[in-house]
Structure 1
């Protein structure tokens, strides 16, 4: 019996497990996984804990990094649109956008010509319409080239997520436009960065899918812990028995009541494991 038997720890990837903000904004190299995190997670799993990634990235944008991350549980991808077993290389659960999402997304592009959108196909292809500088920075970050399409209507189904890319003020206008059409009940509209607005199916967020992961593993929510830095992490931080955040988190995450640990550059996950070690003796 290990110290962490029956415990699930789920962590965001970008700017939580690894600090990638400089790579996204300035095209700098992506830093390696902090060694503190590697050692802590290896210890956590050796003591029976289950560690999972919970990322906004599509499978295509994360699978190159998956071998570099110590994990022993299926992961949440596409901001909660799917649960993927990296060991078996198969989807366990998916919550896909409805058939209206392409048309509605195209209305956004027609109304806001400066915005780009990435469409995450469940078949592991990332399509892009009106790619802009933010899209190109995102390609650098994910190491995956988008497949360009003239319109969203030309992008094949099924889709797990639409990712709108523009300045924050424009993205706020897009969110308000979608809500004004009465579509707020059909989708999750969550910022995953200043220049990134996620659109997934209603209920398809990190909190909902971490809950399903816990059920799949047979772990009660009173032993589920989550770590994240952005607004799209809030659903899982609220779900958790305790939510944690790196010191570089946005104010909304800090104000949510999450326990703030060290900066992502300094091994935030290692701090979390140290806290849990005192709780599970």
Structure 2
């Protein structure tokens, strides 16, 4: 028996487990996983803990980095649209967008010409319509090639997520457009960073999928802990017995009541494990 038996820790990837913001902005290579985080996770798992990634990234955009992450549980990908078993190489659960999502997304593109959208196909293909500078920056940081399509209706189903890319002011107008059309209630529409607006089917969130993952693992939510830095992490931070956030987190996360730890560049997840180490002494 290990001290962390029956404990699940789920962490966001970008700017929580690994700080990628500088690479995104500068075009520099993505840094390695902080050694402090690696050692802490190996310690946690060796004593019975289960560690899972809960990322907004599509599967192909995370697979390029999966080898650097010590983990021993399936992960939440595509911002809550799926649970993926990295050991078996298969999806365990999916929550796909409805058939109307492509047409509604295209209506937003037609209304706002400066917006690009990435469409995440379940078969590990990322399509992009009207790519812009943000799309190319995102392609650099994920190392996942984008397949260009002339329009959203031309992108094949099934789709796990649409990702709208533009400046924040324009994306706020996209969100208002979905609300005015009466479509917003059918989806989860949330910012992962200021220039990325995520769209999944209603109920497909990190929090919802972490709950399902805990059930699959037989872990009580009383012993589920989550860490994240952006608004798309709030659902899992609130679902957890305790939510943690790195010091570099967004204002929305800071105001949520999450327990603040050190900056992601300093090994935020290692500090979370240290806290849990004292709690389960």
Give the TM-score normalised by structure 2.
0.99
Describe the superposition over 1:160-219 as per-residue Cα deviations: whole angstroms up to 9, x where unpaired: 000000000000110111011111221000100111000000000000000000000000
Q: For 1:3 and 1:190, locate their aligned partners in 2 and report how far apart those are by CA, in whole Å.
A: 36
SS of 1:38's equivalent in the other structure is helix
Aligned position for 1:129? 129
Confirm whether residue 84 of structure 1 aligns to residue 88 of structure 2: no
Spell out the pairing of 1:1-281 with structure 2 (5 A cutoff). Answer: 1-281=1-281
Superposition CA RMSD, Å: 0.5
The CA deviation at 1:26 is: 2.1
Describe the superposition over 1:210-251 as per-residue Cα deviations: whole angstroms up to 9, x where unpaired: 000000000000000000000000000000000000000001
The CA deviation at 1:18 is: 0.2
Q: For 1:121 and 1:22, locate their aligned partners in 2 and report how far apart those are by CA, in whole Å.
A: 28
The CA deviation at 1:25 is: 2.0
Unaligned runs of 5+ in 1: none
SS of 2:104's equivalent in the other structure is helix
Q: For 2:207 and 2:102, locate their aligned partners in 1 and report how far apart those are by CA, in whole Å.
A: 25
The CA deviation at 1:64 is: 1.3
The CA deviation at 1:28 is: 1.8
SS of 2:42's equivalent in the other structure is helix
The CA deviation at 1:260 is: 0.4
Give the TM-score normalised by structure 1.
0.99
Moved over 3 A (4+): none
